[in-house]
Structure 1
Amino acid sequence: MTRRIFSLLMLLAWSPFVLAEGPAGDPQAGYEHLVNTPYLPRYFDQETFDNVWRVWPEPLKSQAEKATPEERRQMAFDRYGLTGRPEDPTKPLQYVVDKKGEWTLNCFSCHGGQMEGKTIPGLPNNRFDFAGITDEIRLTKAMLGKKLIPGDYSSLVFPLGENKGTTNAVNFGVALMSLRDADLNVVPGASFPKMLHHDMEPPPWWHFAKKENIYLDGFAPKGHRGLLQFTLVRENDAQAFRDREADFRDVYAYLSSLEAPKYPGKVDATKAEAGRIVFNRQCSECHGTYGDQADYPERMIPIDEIKTDRARFDSLTPAHRQGYGDSWFNSYGQQEGLIADPEGYVAPPLDGVWATAPYLHNGSVPTLWHLLHPDQRPKIWRWSGSSYDHQRMGIDAEALDEFPKGLSAMERREVFNTTRLGKSAAGHDYPNALTEEEKSAVLEYLKTL
C-alpha cells in the first residue's frame, strides 16, 4: 500500500526531471490532451466534489449550505485554488472531468493560475492547496461511504506542500523513479531512498521555449519524453509511456508556444526606460536582455554565490540525476546536455515576472519590491487576500512578528515561515548595490517584460 500511495503522488505537471529534444507537434492538440485526457487514475467523482462543503469548518459550512450550487462550486474553487478554463469557465482547468463526472488531476493544478480574476494557463498556481483538497476529499468520501484509493492517504504519509502554491515536487520524482529501472519497468522489492523534503514554487511555463535545459539546477535537457514522468504511477506500465509519446510531442509544442502575459496596469515609460538601463547594467548578465535585442544566457550561479535556500540543491544527488539520464526519459543517455553534478541554480528569464509572485524558487518572497530590498523581506508573512499589490508588485501580504497560534491546517498554509527548512528568503542580495531610485526604476521596468 505504501508504494501505491507514493506512486500516486506524482500528480504534478512539472516533476523534477525532463528530457529529449521534441519533434514538431500541434500546440492546440497539446492543450486539449492536458485538459481532456486522464493520464492518471481517477481521483474522485462529481458527487464527492459537490458535497465537499459538508466537511468545511464553520461558519463557512453554514454559508455554503445557504448558497446555490453554483455559488458553492465557486466557494470550493476559491478554497482549493481552482479556476475555470479560459474557453469554458464551467470546467476546472486543473482537472480532467470525463463524461461520467470522474475528476483526474492534470498539469494545470500547479501550472494554471489566476491574475485579478483572469485564468492564465502556464502561470504558476500560487493558490493551489494540494494538501487541503486531498484531506477534505478524503473526508467527504468517507462521509458518503465511497471507496478510498491510495491517493486519498497521500497527505498522511508524504508532505504535499507546507504552503498553498508549493509542492514537494522534487521528492515525488525521486520516490517514483526509485521504483523503476531504465526501461521504466517497476522493480520488484525496490525501496525509497532517504529524501530531503522541501517545497518548491512551480516555474512559469512560458520560460520553457527559452531554455535548453530545465529545472532550477538546469540538469535536464528538455524534451517531450521527460514530460511524461509525472505519470509514473504504478497503474501505468512501461508500455504506457511509449503509447503516449505522440501526445506529449503536442504537449511539448504547446509549452513552447506560450508567451508571458502583459502587465495590465499603467507604466511610467520614462521611469521604465531608466530602469531598463540599470537592469541591463546590473541584472542582464544573469537574467538576459529583452525587447529587440533579447538574449537569454541560461547562466548557472554557484550555490555559494547566490546564497538562496539550498534544500533544493541538496535534495538531488549526482546519482539521482544520472539515473534519470540513463533512462528511457533521456533516450538512455543519447540526449546530450545532462548535468549530473551542477554547481548551483540557473538564473531564470524574467518574462512576465510581474505575474509570478511569490518569488525565489521556494516562494518565500511575497513581492518584487521585497526581492529588490533583501534586508526588508519579512521572516513570517501571510496572504491578505487574493488581490494583487500593484505598488510592490506581488502578493498582498501582511508581515507578522510571529507565527499565529490556533490556526487550522488550511489557515497555517496561508502563512509563510522563512525560518523553516527549505523556506529561507535569504540570498540573491545583488540589489543591495542599487540606490533606492535605481530600485524604483527597475521595479517599473519589470512591468514591461
Structure 2
Amino acid sequence: MCAACSKDWRTKIARALVWIVAIVLASRFAAASDSAGPFGAPEPDHPGWRILKSRAFLPADFDQATFDQLPWNWPEAERAAAEGLPLAERRRMIAEHYGLTLNPWASAGEFDLLGYVKTDSGWVMNCLACHGGTLEGSPSPGLGNNRYALQTLTEDVRRTKLLSLKRPSHLDMAILKLPLNTTNGTSNSVIFGVILGAKRLPDMSVDTSRPVPKLAHHDMDAPPWWHLAKKQRLYADGFSPKTHRAVMQFMLLPENDRETILGWEEDFRQILKWMHTVQPPRYDGPVDQPLAQRGLAAFNDHCARCHGTYGDVNEETYPEKVVPLNEIGTDPVRFQALSAEHRQWMKDGWMSRFGEDHVETKPAGYVAPPLDGVWASAPYFHNGSVPTLWHVLHPEERPRIWRRTSDSVDRERMGLTVETLEAIPEQMSSADRRWYFDTSKPSKSAAGHLFVDDLNEDEKRAVLEYLKTL
C-alpha cells in the first residue's frame, strides 16, 4: 500500500473511532437523563428554593458561549468526540466532565445546571454547586457534590475566555493566588470565607486595605444539609452559630457592598429554612435485619455517645459533641486554619448580631456529625479522605491513594466505588491528577477516629449493616 493510501486509511479509522466514541457518549448521557428520579426533590413552591435557583448573589462565572467552547481545552480525542455530538448531548458531556449536576426540575428541553443560576450575564454559582451532588447518577440537592472539579473548570474557563478575548471573572483572577481545590469533589471553601471576611469591617462595610491573615489552604468535603435540622452550630469545629447570616459569608465579594449584603438578609433567612427541609435518602438495597439489630446494640455501646441514637424520631438523640483534636486524631489542618482573629471577627460583627449569637473563639476539636443517610454521603471525614464506611471501620486498611471508578455505591463496603494505588501514575496532567486522592499530602490525612478499634470484626460487620438503616 502506498504511503498516501496508508495515511488516508489511518485518517478514516481515526474518524470512525471518534464517531464511535461520540455515539457511546450520546447513549450514556441519554441513559443518565432517563435514570431514576432525583433524590430529595425540593418543594417547588418553597421561597428558599425559588430564591436559590433564581437570584444571582455573585458575578457570572461564564457565559453560555464560553461553556459550549470548553472542549477546546480537552485532549484531541475527547474534544473531537464532543464536537461530534448534538448540542444538547455535548452540553451534558461538558457538565459530566467537570462534575456539574444537571437540574432535573428544569423545563422540558431546557439545559440547566443545579449549582448555577442562568442570567443575561451568564451562569452564576450558587450554594448547590458544592451542595448539590448526585447519588448513583440521580441529582440530590443538599448532598455534597463529590465530583465537582472546580479548579479544573475555572482554569479551562479562564483559558477559553483568553482565547475569545473576554474579560476574566472573579474566580478566573482568584486562581492566580489561591487553589480552589486540589482534589475534585472537595474545595478550599474555608479559606474563601477567611479572605472575604478579612476585607470587611464588623458592620459589613468593605475595606480592601485590611490585611489578609496567613492562609492554610486545605480542601473540605461538603457535608450534607440534611444534618442541619439536628445541629445548632455550623462547620467542622462548630465555632459558628447556625444562622442565615453565617450562611451569607460566601457572598462577601467586595462588589457586594454593605447595603447589598444587608438587603439580602430575608432571602437567606428563607434559603436556610429551605435547607432545613432537606431529608436524607433511605437505603434502597437489601438489609440483613438480624445483623443490623446486632449492629444497633454495638453502635449504642460504642458510637452513640458522640454520634447520637436513631430510631423513633421522638426518641432520637444528638449530643453535637466536640471531640478534642488529640482524641479524634484526624487531620488537624482544618482546625488550625481559622485564626483567632477570624473567629473574633465573626464574634464581634454583624454575622453574629455583634455577639448576641454565640461564637466559639477557642474550639477544642471537631464536632461528631449526625449519621442520618451516612450510607449516601461518601467520602468520609471532614476532608473527604476515606472512601467507604468499611474503611472508616478499618483504619489499618485505609488506602494511601484512591480514585473513584464509578458513580455506583459500593454496596459491600458502603461508599464510593474506588481503585486503590500506591502511587499516582506519572506523566499526568494536573487536571487528571485531581481525580486521585493522595492521603500523604498536607491536610489530606486519613488517620484518626481509632475508636472503632474497640469493636471486633463481627461487631464491625454488624455496625456496617446497621448504618444502612439510618
Q: TM-score, normalised by structure 1?
A: 0.92
1:338 aligns with one of 359, 374, 385: 359
1:308 alignment counterpart: 330
Which secondary structure does the structure 2 equivalent of 1:59 belong to? helix
1:227 aligns with one of 241, 247, 260: 247
Q: Whose radius of gyration is greater, 1 or 2?
A: 2
Change (3 A) 1:388 1:58: farther
The reply to whether residue 46 of structure 1 matches residue 46 of structure 2 is: no
* Corresponding letter in the other structure for 1:69: L
Q: What is the CA-CA distance between 1:260 and the residue it aligns to?
A: 0.8
1:13 alignment counterpart: none
Q: What is the CA-CA distance between 1:285 and the residue it aligns to?
A: 0.3
**8 A Cα contact 2:300 2:309, kept in partner:** yes
Higher relative contact order (CA 8 A, sep 6+): 1
Question: How do 1:361-380 residues align onto structure 2 when only pairs under 5 Å count?
Answer: 361-380=382-401
**8 A Cα contact 2:346 2:359, kept in partner:** no
CA distance in 2, matches of 1:59, 1:222: 47
Q: What is the CA-CA distance between 1:170 and the residue it aligns to?
A: 1.2
Q: What is the CA-CA distance between 1:32 and the residue it aligns to?
A: 1.1
1:299 alignment counterpart: 321
Which secondary structure does the structure 2 equivalent of 1:131 belong to? helix
Q: Please list every run of 5 or more consecutive structure 2 residues that lacks an aligned counterpart in the other structure.
A: 1-43
CA distance in 2, matches of 1:174, 1:111: 19
CA distance in 1, matches of 2:193, 2:221: 15
2:31 alignment counterpart: none
CA distance in 2, matches of 1:439, 1:423: 25
1:390 alignment counterpart: 411
**8 A Cα contact 1:124 1:204, kept in partner:** yes
Q: What is the CA-CA distance between 1:188 and the residue it aligns to?
A: 4.4
Which secondary structure does the structure 2 equivalent of 1:274 belong to? helix
Q: What is the CA-CA distance between 1:90 and the residue it aligns to?
A: 3.1
CA distance in 2, matches of 1:249, 1:187: 26
Change (3 A) 1:342 1:96: same
* Corresponding letter in the other structure for 1:106: N
1:238 aligns with one of 255, 258, 262: 258
Deviation sequence 1:15-37 (CA, Å, 0-9, x none): xxxxxxxxxxx981101111111
Deviation sequence 1:384-427 (CA, Å, 0-9, x none): 23222111111111110112211111210111111111000000
The reply to whether residue 150 of structure 1 matches residue 166 of structure 2 is: no
Q: Please list every run of 5 or more consecutive structure 1 residues that lacks an aligned counterpart in the other structure.
A: 1-25
2:18 alignment counterpart: none
2:158 alignment counterpart: 138
After TM superposition, the runs of 4+ consecutive aligned structure 1 residues lying more than 3 A away are none
Deviation sequence 1:343-396 (CA, Å, 0-9, x none): 100100001111111110000001010000000001111122322211111111
Q: What is the CA-CA distance between 1:295 and the residue it aligns to?
A: 0.6
Which secondary structure does the structure 2 equivalent of 1:308 belong to? coil
CA distance in 2, matches of 1:27, 1:122: 17
CA distance in 1, matches of 2:232, 2:45: 19
Q: What is the CA-CA distance between 1:101 and the residue it aligns to?
A: 6.3
* Corresponding letter in the other structure for 2:223: P
2:48 alignment counterpart: 30
Q: What is the CA-CA distance between 1:174 and the residue it aligns to?
A: 1.1
2:297 alignment counterpart: 277
Deviation sequence 1:298-317 (CA, Å, 0-9, x none): 00000000000000111113
* Corresponding letter in the other structure for 1:229: Q
CA distance in 2, matches of 1:150, 1:207: 31
2:423 alignment counterpart: 402
1:181 alignment counterpart: 201
CA distance in 2, matches of 1:151, 1:381: 28
CA RMSD of aligned residues (A): 1.4
Which secondary structure does the structure 2 equivalent of 1:119 belong to? strand
Q: TM-score, normalised by structure 2?
A: 0.88
2:126 aligns with one of 103, 106, 115: 106
2:22 alignment counterpart: none
* Corresponding letter in the other structure for 1:141: K
**8 A Cα contact 1:27 1:254, kept in partner:** no
**8 A Cα contact 2:230 2:318, kept in partner:** yes
Determine what percentage of the aligned residue pairs are the same residue: 46
1:211 aligns with one of 226, 231, 242: 231
Which secondary structure does the structure 2 equivalent of 1:422 belong to? coil
How many residues are matched? 422
Question: Which range is displaced more, 297-306 or 407-416?
Answer: 407-416
